[in-house]
Structure 1
Amino acid sequence: MRTVRRSALIDRPDRPDHPDRPLAEPSALPRRAPLPAHHPEPVLDVVVPVHNEENDLEPCVRRLHAHLGETFPYPFRITIADNASTDRTPGIAARLAAELPGTDWIRLAEKGRGRALHTAWSRSRAPVLAYLDVDLSTDLAALLPLVAPLISGHSDIAIGTRLARGSRVVRGPKREIISRCYNGLLRSTLAVGFSDAQCGFKAVRRDVAERLLPLVEDREWFFDTELLVIAERAGLRIHEVPVDWVDDPDSRVHILETALADLRGMARLGRALARGRLPLSALRRSGGDLAGELPTGLARQVVRFAAVGVASTLCYLLLYTALRPSAGPQAANALALLASALANTAANRRLTFGVRGRGGVLRHHLKGLAAFLVGLVLTSGSLAALHHIAPGAGHRCELVTLVAANLAATLLRFLLFRAWVFPDRSDRRTTGSP
């Protein structure tokens, strides 16, 4: 295996001059293809981003090098990405690069884990790019299952998850609550399907990274999340691997500062998606059959959801009016709501969230019916309240009450549809076990 060493690098400015201007359209991704069985150059480049890690760096890199040498069947490279360390980290990195075959190091003038990964991945020519945290909190036994679907061409990105069934995690309640709240917030605001955005254990195919990296603005801790959200919105396949993970008690992450930066990143990314600033169409076109299942932007989804809602509400009111004389108000409400719910779910599945084909139809309709129970509870409760307050209320009062209740339920239903019914978890995410 060749030892590859390069001179120090300084990251170039990474923010566009005009942040409000849409980004340039990336070229389309090539079709997925497995790597050849015999590859002369390193197939995997594992980046270890570090800042002032003079104590953990050497044991981490030596342990990682020994593990890859024993278990990984292809040539590999380890790249130490030192971002502005002020202790002995640069000297240790240089010595390890000289001593261990297939080890490289780069030095950046500015801090930022995202900046280190962006630089190291941009310069690498390995077909598969990965990174892991220097504390090795994640068991290295999961590394080969992480990169295997990328080598085979099955997936585009792979992430370790501490929140999936089969994961074994040892950490305090504070960090557990923060992690689950963060990922729950992502699901409710950006409708993501992946389970763990911030586990320091990820890999990506280089041809995918070349298209995604120019779209990722953050150079700090939000880098991972932004990359994954853009990839999922582009219809790329994300593979999840449950991991064994032990918390590092010496972690230097500033929780409050990082949390505030992540919230700002979510707001910025949400605005970019809603305004259509991210040029995802080329990546969508390259996704083959996945492209038909790609959700559209938030603004377009809201417009289409509203249009479908107006049509289904009119259908509901017509059915209610036709059924009420024979079935009574409550039964007519339930039957009309059931029929319009089925039609509404089918229309939103195709028109609002862009899901085609027969896959998942039953699951989507069952979840759609569960979401419409919100409407049933609100409308039935409103009718009951109306008849209790004004026993002699006429048909016109009933219709006004039902329209008001449906409007109140519409927002809740849209959030449920976006975050739960059509998040594309099963279509764009695969899971494996270590």
Structure 2
Amino acid sequence: MNPYLSVVIPAYNEAANILSGSLTAVHDYLCVQSYAYEIIVVDDGSTDETAALAEDFVTQHRNTRLIRNPHRGKAFTVTTGLRAATGQIVLFTDMDQATPIQETAKLLPWYERGYDIVIGSRGTYRRNAPLWRKFMSRSQILLRQLILGFRDITDTQCGFKSFRGSAIGPILDHLHLYNFAHHAEVHGATVTAGFDVELLFVAQRLGYRVKEVPVEWDYRHSRRVNLLRDSLRGVRELLEIRAADLRGAYRDPRLP
């Protein structure tokens, strides 16, 4: 029988977080819940001990599995996990647990109210984040509102998102910018902010109900974020999503 909740954790060079107990914390929380679960770690071609440590973890804990990918970036890694998940509800969360797994309890009740996608939100506050990161976040929120018309979603980028399992296939199949049919391997760490935006944009275009729920979040320093490079890429991807939408790329063929 399929589990109620699948938890997808993308991993690229996350050995330090695994050694510090992040995977154990996720497992320890889930194994005492009343629902069935699975944990899926998707390794993004790590160059450190991530895959080996995750493999050891999987062999010692039930309801866990590891998928090894070539290095193609976080968006492809998350997509792999989402498609492999078998749960009625599927959550993806970061290995560093900046939003702790306990926050899942704030998301799940909204499915009983008819929502299809429930996402964690940091609002406009970024606890312990440096000023440049706060400025970057607020600027991106404004641009998403102006370019894509996001009015009822403030934080598209929190790495704590859940979906009804039945919604995942249609959403991923309708992605345009982050459709991975022809994407090649990448080099080094990647930040793909447009992936989260496109997921939610497509979800709304397909008529799925999205709920944003405040969650706890603590800033984790990451060398993967570059203020200028990632800000420019974020703006470019917003414009590309808007252009694709104007061309009808996200039109639901089920609708007249």
- Normalised TM-score (structure 1): 0.53
Shift of 1:153: 5.8
1:51–1:89 Cα contact (<8 Å) kept: yes
Could you list the structure 1 runs, at least 4 aligned residues long, displaced by more than 4 angstroms after superposition. Answer: none
Counterpart AA for 1:69: C
Q: Distance in 2 between matches of 1:87 and 1:215?
A: 34
Greater fraction helix = 1
Q: Which one of the candidate residues 195, 198, 205 is aligned to 2:157?
A: 198
Aligned length: 241
Show the counterpart of 1:306.
none
CA offsets per residue over residues 87-123 of structure 1, 9 Å max, x none?
Answer: 1111011111111111111011123111011111112
Counterpart AA for 1:256: L
Show the counterpart of 1:79.
40
Show the counterpart of 1:235.
207
Q: Distance in 2 between matches of 1:49 and 1:279?
A: 29
Partner SS, residue 199 of structure 1: coil
Show the counterpart of 2:2.
41
Show the counterpart of 1:267.
239
Q: Which one of the candidate residues 26, 44, 55 is aligned to 1:64?
A: 26
Show the counterpart of 1:277.
249
Counterpart AA for 1:157: I
Q: Which one of the candidate residues 165, 168, 189 is aligned to 2:147?
A: 189
Q: Distance in 1 between matches of 2:71 and 2:222?
A: 22
In the alignment, does 2:101 pair up with 1:143?
A: no
Partner SS, residue 86 of structure 1: coil
Aligned residues with identical type, % of pairs: 28
Show the counterpart of 1:213.
172
1:142–1:241 Cα contact (<8 Å) kept: no
Alignment of 1:117-156 (within 5 A): 117-150=78-111, 152=112, 154-156=114-116
Shift of 1:272: 1.2
Gaps spanning 5+ residues in structure 1: where? 1-39, 286-434
Counterpart AA for 1:195: T
In the alignment, does 2:49 pair up with 1:88?
A: yes
Shift of 1:250: 4.2
Show the counterpart of 2:65.
104
Shift of 1:236: 1.6
1:145–1:241 Cα contact (<8 Å) kept: yes
Partner SS, residue 94 of structure 1: helix
CA offsets per residue over residues 286-315 of structure 1, 9 Å max, x none?
Answer: xxxxxxxxxxxxxxxxxxxxxxxxxxxxxx
CA offsets per residue over residues 313-339 of structure 1, 9 Å max, x none?
Answer: xxxxxxxxxxxxxxxxxxxxxxxxxxx
Q: Distance in 2 between matches of 1:69 and 1:223?
A: 30
Partner SS, residue 67 of structure 2: strand
2:37–2:63 Cα contact (<8 Å) kept: yes
Q: Distance in 1 between matches of 2:81 and 2:205?
A: 24
Q: Distance in 2 between matches of 1:255 and 1:184?
A: 16
Partner SS, residue 277 of structure 1: coil
1:135–1:248 Cα contact (<8 Å) kept: yes
Q: Distance in 2 between matches of 1:247 and 1:168?
A: 7
Shift of 1:281: 4.5
Shift of 1:180: 1.1
Q: Distance in 2 between matches of 1:153 and 1:107?
A: 36
Compute the RMSD of aligned alpha carbons.
1.9
Shift of 1:264: 2.2
Shift of 1:127: 1.4
* Cα pair distance change 1:48/1:270, threshold 3 Å: same
Shift of 1:142: 1.6
Shift of 1:175: 1.0
Show the counterpart of 2:187.
none
Q: Distance in 2 between matches of 1:223 and 1:275?
A: 19
Counterpart AA for 2:43: D
The structure with more radius of gyration: 1
Partner SS, residue 31 of structure 2: helix
Shift of 1:210: 0.9
Show the counterpart of 1:163.
123
2:106–2:215 Cα contact (<8 Å) kept: no
Q: Distance in 1 between matches of 2:162 and 2:227?
A: 25
- Normalised TM-score (structure 2): 0.87
In the alignment, does 2:132 pair up with 1:174?
A: yes
Shift of 1:140: 3.0
1:114–1:222 Cα contact (<8 Å) kept: no
Q: Distance in 2 between matches of 1:155 and 1:278?
A: 21
Q: Distance in 2 between matches of 1:272 and 1:168?
A: 31
Gaps spanning 5+ residues in structure 2: where? 181-191
2:41–2:54 Cα contact (<8 Å) kept: yes
Partner SS, residue 127 of structure 2: strand
Shift of 1:57: 2.2
CA offsets per residue over residues 246-287 of structure 1, 9 Å max, x none?
Answer: 1012453233332232222211110111121223252x68xx
